[in-house]
Structure 1
Amino acid sequence: MNTVHADDIDALLPQTQCTRCGYPDCAGYARAIAAGEADINQCPPGGAEGIVRLAALTGRPVQPLSAAHGLEGPRMLAVIDEDWCIGCTLCIKACPVDCIVGTNKQMHTVIDELCTGCELCVPACPVDCISLTPVTTATGWAAWSEAQAQEARHRYAWHQERRAREAREHEDRLEAKARHKLEHLETQTRLTDPAQIERKRAVIEAALAKARQRRSG
């Protein structure tokens, strides 16, 4: 068995980010293969050809696709029933490549050419208004191109960056709110009980410390 870098393995994966391999994304699966923690037959979107590609790279034997992780099939497209969509935005949050557009309490729609068929939006919908329809008769890599994989990889990276930025902005807002409360407490004149003021200050300072710890982590 060859020693292969995770990036080289990741380059052979279809980048649908469907998590059917048992890992949170294609890069996570690639790292697990490189570390010897996962086998090369856990990616249904890559199918039989994907296993052959990974076998050639890693030196591991070709084997059938793991039934525990799913079946090879045609590429699917998510379709939103606009009459039933309630605009909850949960599917937008679930989509790993940001191919669903819409706003809160407004109808959402899928950008067909960007959908990887990951299926993650389906269980996220509380009103079951998302269905999957096949858009190819071919399966595995025959249903998915290198160009589509590259586009999905870039969109997933951008999706991750956006989520991280939004998390930081959320932490900043919480910290600003906590600091404002602390400043208000320090200038408050209606409270005459020093012990009560100190208790409130301790709670707020603990919240600020927790926010700083999350950010550094």
Structure 2
Amino acid sequence: MPMFENPTLIDRINALLPQTQCGQCSFQGCRPYAEAIASGVADINQCPPGGDEGIRDLADLLGVSPKPLNTEFGLHKPPSVAFIIEEDCIGCVKCIADCPVDAIVGAAKLMHTVIASECTGCELCIAPCPVDCIIMQAAPPNNAEKTRAQKSAQAKRRYDARCSRKEQEEAEKAERVKKKKQAFLKMQAAKK
């Protein structure tokens, strides 16, 4: 939950979501789904990772009746984590780029691995893998023992950190491009 005193309805809804950022709800992550629920665009039963418990929590918060998970968006599954079959990994880094919580480590042309304790089980790393070396496995006991709120808070911290890192990288890239352009223009002016 945000660190300010009066969280908005969107913040309170978002805090109840699992923070997998999987997109199964048809939105680009948990916060956009929370915004859609708060504005009445989406229903409370579109989050398979949240399951029946998540739907009940959202219903309680919003003062509405719970309803069954809308299976059009998927089915609730037991907690799982991605696992990379090491001997098949070619080090393409495509899975790393798609992990919303930076739970996959590795480098180009080197084997990657998943930090199981950080993986949200979103499955977003599976589709981009060109050699199908990523499978889902049951979450290790230390993952399964965490409460839903603990898992959600941990995933949100990692997702927010990833978003901050990406923003910083984009700002640095824009600054480099700006400096190169200025240097080019200065060089062109000096030639005249």
Task: Give me the identity figure in percent.
Answer: 46
Q: Could you state the TM-score of these two structures normalised by the residue count of structure 1? A: 0.79
Aligned to 2:46: 42
Q: Could you state the TM-score of these two structures normalised by the residue count of structure 2? A: 0.89
- Give the unaligned 5+ runs of structure 2: 1-7
- Give the unaligned 5+ runs of structure 1: 190-217
- Is the Cα contact below 8 Å between 2:47 and 2:69 reproduced in 1? yes
Q: Which amino acid aligns with 2:167?
A: A
Following TM superposition, by how much is the alpha carbon of 1:79 offset from its aligned partner in structure 2, in angstroms? 0.7
Which structure's CA Rg is the greater one? Answer: 1
Following TM superposition, by how much is the alpha carbon of 1:31 offset from its aligned partner in structure 2, in angstroms? 0.8
Corresponding residue to 1:61 among 48, 51, 65: 65
- Is the Cα contact below 8 Å between 2:116 and 2:139 reproduced in 1? no
Deviations 1:192-217 (A, max 9, x none): xxxxxxxxxxxxxxxxxxxxxxxxxx
- Stretch deviating more after TM superposition (116-125 or 179-188): 179-188
Deviations 1:56-98 (A, max 9, x none): 1112221111111100111121011111212121111111111
Aligned to 1:201: none
1:70 has 2:92 as partner: no
Aligned to 2:3: none
Deviations 1:174-193 (A, max 9, x none): 1111112111111226xxxx
2: CA distance, partners of 1:25 / 1:125: 21
- Is the Cα contact below 8 Å between 1:75 and 1:143 reproduced in 2? no
Aligned to 2:119: 115
Deviations 1:90-120 (A, max 9, x none): 1111111111111121111000111000000
Aligned to 1:20: 24
Q: Residues 142 and 53 of structure 1: is their aligned pair in 2 closer, same or farther, counting only changes over 3 Å?
A: farther
1: CA distance, partners of 2:157 / 2:175: 27
1: CA distance, partners of 2:63 / 2:48: 20
Instruction: Report the number of matched residues.
Output: 183
Spell out the pairing of 1:42-191 with structure 2 (5 A cutoff).
42-135=46-139, 145-188=148-191
Following TM superposition, by how much is the alpha carbon of 1:135 offset from its aligned partner in structure 2, in angstroms? 2.7
Following TM superposition, by how much is the alpha carbon of 1:143 offset from its aligned partner in structure 2, in angstroms? 8.1
Q: Residues 129 and 45 of structure 1: is their aligned pair in 2 closer, same or farther, counting only changes over 3 Å?
A: same
- Is the Cα contact below 8 Å between 1:79 and 1:130 reproduced in 2? yes
Following superposition, which runs of at least 4 residues in structure 1 exceed 3 angstroms of deviation?
141-144
